[in-house]
Structure 1
């Protein structure tokens, strides 16, 4: 996570970091997901970020002492951005597939427009996903989650 934080602080994409460090994009992705990098990879990244290798390769118990540790607010922000990215990815797939279905429908059987049905069904899923990501309705808010956990554990709030 330290690598990701340093990369985001500089406004670099994973592709840019891979180019600057001489590592593959896949290697950058693996490191950012928590896989332990090799010493050569650490040296390359340390050179790019202009830090010591030891700053990048600290043990988890020492991470709390470093200024590079991701705070809970940063972790929540990262998770929120991932959720938004997931929604937009879902929306793009929906538009592409539904457009393709309409093209197929209109070229093969223009008398009956069956592509409305998958558009409606999947569209409800996309709408639900968007409402959930952007928290339009707070049906399943953190407070609700806490109440449910406490209820399952038999505790009173």
Structure 2
């Protein structure tokens, strides 16, 4: 459901905090294009309004224009609804995603090492097989970490100064 927003209020509040549209988008967890469209057209979804209001430390009602648009089937967000906590910026979501991926790879490989050493201790595999499996898991671990870090670096999630 799209609603009319007070674009002047959004711009004033953003300027008051010395935020660019890009910075507001990152804080609100929205795309830059979404913030640009909202400020240009004055129409936004309820979720976008909540995100911008939370990013600017405002009540949703302060950002709404006089009436909502498109069929007027739903009233504006009532003031009794709590404003959600600030969402993580998009870059933070991506960083968390990559770090969880790294952790999952490390944990999976630790279980692999544990299984290999357990099999060796119980006599299920010989020394040569254990060495081969251990080396394979170690190479897989290093390659997986390298690929995840490289992909994160390419998307500028991780910044390495080389």
Do the structures match in fold with TM over 0.5?
A: no
Given the two structures, how large is their TM-score scaled by the length of structure 2?
0.38
Bigger Rg, which one: 2
Greater RCO, CA 8 A, separation 6+? 2
Given the two structures, how large is their TM-score scaled by the length of structure 1?
0.39
Q: Which has the higher helix share?
A: 1
